[in-house]
Structure formats: structure tokens, C-alpha cells
Structure 1
């Protein structure tokens, strides 16, 4: 059995891991590498032959895990893609959105070149809608905790991981040369007591573990719950100050959890009614998929549905569909909450809301997720007094706040607990992926102090698992 980390090695994005059993090749995740965003075509440079991959196992739908699948298919992969039912549907939605983003960038590039009398054309899309549809046709869905025999020597089981609807850790039992060994890939590990999502389940004992390390060395804020944090902020901004609260949120996952939390707050009378706008067409489509796969939401959400109705609908909540309606939100002068994408403020309708509100003293922008360096969200959180939005430099008069109560990643303690559920003497090795080097090292140091054998793998290096 051999393991090669082809993506998310000593970085966060582009998860892609190759497990080889004899001549049989299994690819776990096939994500877009955002580190290559300056030249998206670099994602075509696979360090293996796509047509030689026998099967792909997809842990969850996020683009840094799924976003390069259509490229893999376009370049010759013709096997099955195994995932949970929600992951299949959410991935299709996200991949279609990726095509739109590629096309927008290509058209923008062409416009810029024509403007400067240079006609070589814009950057070519990495893949097209046709390639997404070819990819979707390869999905084979498997439920949680249901062993699935990939071939005579390999059995796969998906274990709930939290993080996103349908997200799973992939556990393989492998028979090779008459010996049985096991290896697990965590995917992204979620948090306990997260709105809508089930808690991550402990993994069974395995011989090898490939673990994400995004929040290695970092702890989430303790003390206040999601609802307590939101009540405190809404009460100050919308009730006492009669202002507006803008919450940038990813359309899939974060928005649904946020809406459910707001539903519980307003339906229980913890705050007087406040108008809530969800301004993201993709969020509306994703919410329909959450309804479709309602058996995958957590017991609290299912119980709420039985007793009080749809957890994603309540009085004063409006899902904004058309661009015309989105622009009308800016003319709503009563106190309100606007939830819009993208979460890091790079594109999407959120930019319109920022353009009209960044100079509003009675506006608060509440970040509920991570903002990568270089993004508009990062610049606002850094404290820049002037930011560039829609071709204009605007002074920042709005209040900028951030909370991590809705972060969907487990923190340092959660990661440690997940790994330490394995016996240090029985576990032959831990491979840390999907994290910055500093995060990986902090996690590795603490694990090694407790007797775990830890590797921070380099990209493209093959490890023999004996």
C-alpha cells in the first residue's frame, strides 16, 4: 500500500491524495489549488495520468476538495466518484458555479485585452458545463456507516465528519498479500453542537491516519454560543442603534446554519422582529438541497422541523432572487440583517451591499468566517481605512466585527481529540495535510510528545505503508 499527497501538502487548498494498492489507484479528493489562482491552468498539471485512476472518493463538496474533478474527467479519468448523497448534489451546484466564475474571468480578460488593443484573448476556462455534467454522471452515492466494497481487496466506509452537509471521513480496509490493514482520511473535521450539522463521529481504530490540520495551534473562542453572540450583536446594531447588520457568508453551509440560528432566536422571542434578507441565488438553491436531504441534518434541526416547521423559513425572512430585487434591498431603510455571499467579499452581490453601506456609520459588517490574505475581507479586518470597491476608493465608516462561533472547522483541541481517539501504540503513522506549515508543526509537536508517529508530507513524495 502506497500513499502520495498530490495536493494540500504543507498548504490549505487543493486536497488530492493517491492511495495505491498493488496496481489499483484510488484518488481521495480532487480539489482546486487556490495557491495557483494567479494561473488557474496550473491545476491541469497532475503528477499522475488521470486515465490510470480507477476510482475517486470525495469527502465533501467544497471546491478545495472537489473543484478539479471536471479537469480530471476532461483529461481522461473514466471511473466512478464515490460520495454521500448530499455531497453529490452540493458538488454539482458548486462546480456549475465554478464554470460561471471561469467564464466571467475569461470574458473580463478579453475585455481588458481589447481595451489595450491586444487580442490574444483572456484566460481559458479550466473546464466547461459539459465537463461538469460528465463528472456528475460518474457519482455513485453511499450512506454513512455502510461498508461498500470497491473491489475484492478494498472496503470503504463513510463516517460523519460534520463541517458540511454530507461531509465524511473515508475509512478503507485493505487486504494485500493476505494481510489486512486500514487507513482513514478525515476530510475536513467539523465542530460539536454546530447548527444544522451532526457532530463528527469518532473513527474506528486504523493503522494509518491522514488528518487535516487547518486550525492546528488555534483555538476557537470559548464561552458564548452561536445564538448568544448573534443576539448580542443584533440587539446592539438593529434594535438599539436602529442600523443594519451585513453578514458576508458562504452560500453553502454557513448561510443555512446562520438562518437556522436566527430562526430559533426570533421564534423564541429573544429579540423583537427584524427584517432578514438572504441575498444569494446559490444560497436559495443550496437550501433546497438541505431540505431534500433533511435526514442528514442533526437531531435538533429535525426536532425543530417536527414541532415548529421549516427551520429555513420564518416571518420577516426573504430570499432575494433577482438582481433587481437585490438592488431594492439598498432602498430598505428600516433596521435589517443582510446575509450575502461571497464570504471573503471577493465578488458576488455582497459587493453591492458594501458599496452602498461601507460609509454608513449605522452599519456593522460581521465576519463569521476566515478571510484569506489579499481579499477585501482581509483588508477590512486588518483595519484599512480606505478600500477599493467597484472601481472606487471608499472610506470605511461602518463598524467591522468578527466572530468565530460559526467557523465550520474544528480547532486545535478538536483535531487533537480526533487523532487521539486512536491508540498511539497501534497507530503506525499520522500524516498531516490541509494546513499551513506552522499549524501542522504545532499539532505535530503535541502529538509526538504523546508518542504518535507524525509525518508532515511533501507534495509528490510516495510513502510505503507497511
Structure 2
């Protein structure tokens, strides 16, 4: 049995791992790598022949895990893609959205460094046709239901929170008469997160491939989501008649936020303030959350039984078309605007920022991570002037941030995932999906506990 780490090695994006058993090739995740120096187009340069892959296992729908599947299919992959039902539905939405983003980038000219001429971006990585071809290959499996891939390999998907449908992939393998087990965590969630279930403990395994996004870092524990939202809304929209803008990713983060607001208003903790969710993708993905209501956590299901729809309330409006989106700027009462994208790189959120960044009565609350170089990162850094839609604008709005909506488990959650396993059976832990500092902090903590731990280089192969 051989394991090769082809993606998310000493970086966060582009998860892609190849497991080979007696000539049978299993690809675990096939995400877009946003950190490639040559741009998004270089994602089509696979380090193997896509035609040789027998099956793909998709841990969850986020683009850094699913986003390169249509390229794999376009270049010859003809096997099944195994995942949970919600992951299949959400991945279809996200992959279609990726096609739209590719076309938007194509339409936007960029200046060549020499001569000032305009050049358009390269062709899209894949088209809608390739997404539909990919969707046709999805085969869905319920949680905790063993699925036999072939006579030597059995797969079980274990719920890990993080996103609706997200799973760790546990493989039980007959390797030349010897039974071996290996688990791939995907992304691990955190306990008591809005809407989502807590991560389930993994069964004993011989090898673990674990994400390490928050290695060495701890989430805020002194305050609750409810307390932070109540304080922020009270100051931004009630004590001062202003508006609160919350950049949020459309799938996962927006639903957690809407549900949290619903609970606050239902309890009467604040007067009802108008809430706009300005993201067509968020509206469509919320329907998926409703479809798989039985997979939401006990708190959300209890709320539904006593209060009704978790994602709908009187003062909430989902905005679909662009005309209605632009009309929000003419709404002069206090309001909350939830819009994507979370890092402010494109999407309708840029329109709301353009019209409100110089508004003293506007607060912008970041509830997610902003990568270096993004507009969100510059605002959080405290830049007094930012560039939005071809204009330099002074920042007069109040900028705030909370990590309470992060759907990633922190250092303690990662450690608990490993420590719940049978230490005598676990031979080695491979760390992926994190920046080098996080990986090294997680590795050091694991080694102090006596776990054999490795941080693979990209393309490194291990015989297990």
C-alpha cells in the first residue's frame, strides 16, 4: 500500500492524496490549489494520468477539496466519486459557481506590464458541461455505512462537522492478506457550532492523514456567538441607527449566521432589525440545508420543532437578482447585510462596501479568515485607504472581527481527534492542509505525546 501526498502539502489549499492498493488507485479529494505561482490554469497539470485513477473519495464540498474534479473528468477520469448526499448537492452548486467566476475573470481585462496593453485571462479551467459530467459520477453513501469499493477495500464515512455532509474517510484494506486501516480527516469541525453536528470520534486506525489548519492556535472561548452578535448589532443598528455589513461565505457560514440571528430575535434579545442575505448561492445552498434537515444538530432540530424554519424569519429577506441587490443602498433604516464573498474578493459584497466604506454609521464585521493580499486582509490590517471597483476610498466604517464562526476545529480539537484513537495501534500521523507554522506546532504537540508524526513534502510517497 502506497500513499502519495499530491496537494495541501505544507499549505492550505489543493487537497489531493493518492492511495494505491495492489494497483488500484484511489484519489482522496481533488481541490483547487490557489497558491500555485503560475495561476489557476496550472491546476490542470496533474502529477499522474487522470485516466489511471479508479475512484475518487470526496470528504466535503469546499472548493479547496472539490474544485478540480471537473478538470480530472475533462482529462479522462471515468470512475465514481464517492461522498455523502449533502456533499454531492453542495459540490454541484460550488462547482457551477466556479465556472461563473472563471468567466467573470475572463471578462475583466488586465494590463500587461510592458506597453500598457490589455490582455484577457486564459480560458476557463473547465466549463458547465464538465461540471455536469462530474455530477453524473457522484455516488452517495450515508454516514457510518460501510461501502465496499472492491474485494480488498471498504470505505466508511464518519461525520466531522465543519460543513453539512463533511466526512472523514476511513478505509479498511486487505493488503496482500494483511488488514490495514487508514483515515483521512478532511476538515475537522468544532463542537457546539451552529446548525452542524459535533465531530464524531474516529475508529482505531493504523495511519491518519490529518488536516492542521489551526495547529498551535486556539479559538476564543470567553464569549459566545450570541453575546458577540447582540453587542455588535446593538451598537451598530440600535444605539446608533446605522448598518452592519457581514461578509460571509455563501455555504456554511451564512446558514450558521442566519440561524444565530433567528435565535436572537426569537428570544427577544434585540428589537427586530431588517436582515438582507444578498447571495443567490446562499439562497440555493440554504435549500440544501433544509433538504437534509435530519443531518443538522439537535439544537437546530429542536428549534425547528418549536419555532419553525431555522433559516427564515419575519425581518429576513433573501435577495436573488442584481436589481434588488442594488436597491439595498436605498434602504435608509438600520439593517444587517450578509453578502459574499467572505474575503471581499469579488461578489456583491464589493458593491455594498463601495457605497458604505466611507459611512461613519457603518460597521463591517468579519466572521472568517482573510488570506494575505485580499481586500478583507487589508481592512483588518487597518489600511486607511483601500481600492474598490477602480477607486481609492478612505475607510471611515468601523472594522470588527470574531473567530467564533470559524468552522475549523482549533489546536485542542485537532489534538482530541488524534488522542481519541488507539495509541498502540496508530503507527503514524501525516499532517496536511495547513501553513508550515501550524503544521509544526501541531507536530510538536503530537510528538510530545509520543505519536510518530510526519509533515510530507508535495509529491512524497510512503510505503505503508
Query: Smaller-chain TM-score range?
Result: over 0.9
Query: Which position in structure 1 is the counterpart of 2:28?
Result: 28
Q: Distance in 2 between matches of 1:121 and 1:369?
A: 31
Q: Is the 8 A contact 2:111 2:119 kept in 1?
A: no
State the partner residue of 1:319.
318
Superposed CA deviations along residues 321-377 of structure 1, whole A, max 9, x for unmatched, are 111111111111111100000000000000010001001111110000000000000
Q: Is the 8 A contact 1:424 1:450 kept in 2?
A: no
Instruction: For 1:229 and 1:104, locate their aligned partners in 2 and report how far apart those are by CA, in whole Å.
Output: 35
Pairs aligned (count): 462
Please tell me whether residue 233 in structure 1 is matched to residue 237 in structure 2: no
Does the aligned pair in 1 maintain the 2:111–2:118 contact within 8 Å? no
Give the structure 2 partner of residue 426 of structure 1: 425
Aligned to 1:417: 416
CA–CA separation in structure 2 for the residues paired with 1:317 and 1:80: 40
- Secondary structure (helix, strand or coil) at the match of 1:35 reads coil
Matching of residues 32-431 of structure 1 within 5 Å: 32-36=32-36, 38-109=38-109, 122-431=121-430
Gaps of 5+ in 2: none
- Post-superposition offset of 1:243: 1.1
1: distance between equivalents of 2:119 and 2:265?
55
- Farther off after superposition, 227-236 or 403-412: 227-236
* 8 A Cα contact 1:157 1:171, kept in partner: yes
Cα separation, 2, equivalents of 1:282 and 1:257: 15
2: distance between equivalents of 1:413 and 1:328? 45
Q: Deviations over 1:88-145 (max 9, x none)?
A: 0000000001001111112224x868xx896875311000000000000000000100
Q: Root-mean-square deviation (CA), in Å? A: 1.3
Tell me if structure 2 keeps the 8 A contact 1:425–1:452. Answer: no
The TM-score with structure 2 as length reference comes to 0.98
**Counterpart in 2 of 1:16?**
16
**Residue 161 of structure 1, CA deviation:** 0.7
Distance 2:105 2:232 in 1: 36
Asked whether the equivalents of residues 429 and 452 of structure 2 are also in contact (C-alpha less than 8 Å), the reply is yes
Please state how far the C-alpha of 1:37 moved relative to its aligned partner.
6.8
* 1:150-198 deviations in Å (ceiling 9; x for gaps): 0000000000010000000000000111111100000000010000000
- In structure 2, relative to structure 1, the CA distance for the partners of 1:232 and 1:118 (3 Å cut) is closer
- For residues 403 and 229 of structure 1, what CA distance do their matches in structure 2 show? 8
Give yes or no for the alignment of 1:449 onto 2:420: no
Counterpart CA distance in 2 for 1:391 and 1:37 is: 25
Alignment check: 8 A CA contact 2:343 2:376 kept: yes
Q: Distance in 2 between matches of 1:436 and 1:181?
A: 29
SS at match of 2:387: strand
Q: 1:421 to 1:89 in 2, by over 3 A?
A: same
Task: Report if aligned partners of 2:3, 2:17 keep a CA contact under 8 Å in 1.
Answer: yes
> Partners in 1 of 2:150 and 2:346 — Cα distance?
44
In 2, are the aligned partners of 1:425 and 1:451 still within 8 Å (CA)?
A: no
Task: Spell out structure 1 runs of 4+ moving beyond 4 A.
Answer: 116-121
Rounded to whole Å, the distance in 1 between the matches of 2:119 and 2:235 is 53
Tell me, yes or no, if the aligned pair for 2:144 and 2:156 is still in contact at 8 Å. yes
TM value normalised by structure 1: 0.97
Shift of 1:424: 2.7
Q: 1:9 to 1:306 in 2, by over 3 A?
A: same
Most deviating of 295-304 and 137-146: 295-304
- Pairwise CA distance, 1:87: 0.2
1:422 to partner: Cα distance: 1.6
Q: Distance in 2 between matches of 1:201 and 1:38?
A: 38
Deviation string, structure 1 residues 36-90 (Cα, Å, up to 9, x no partner): 2752111011111100000000000000000000000000100000000000000
- CA spacing shift, 1:121–1:227, aligned 2, 3 Å: closer
In structure 1, distance between residues paired with 2:217 and 2:130: 38
Offset at 1:411? 0.3
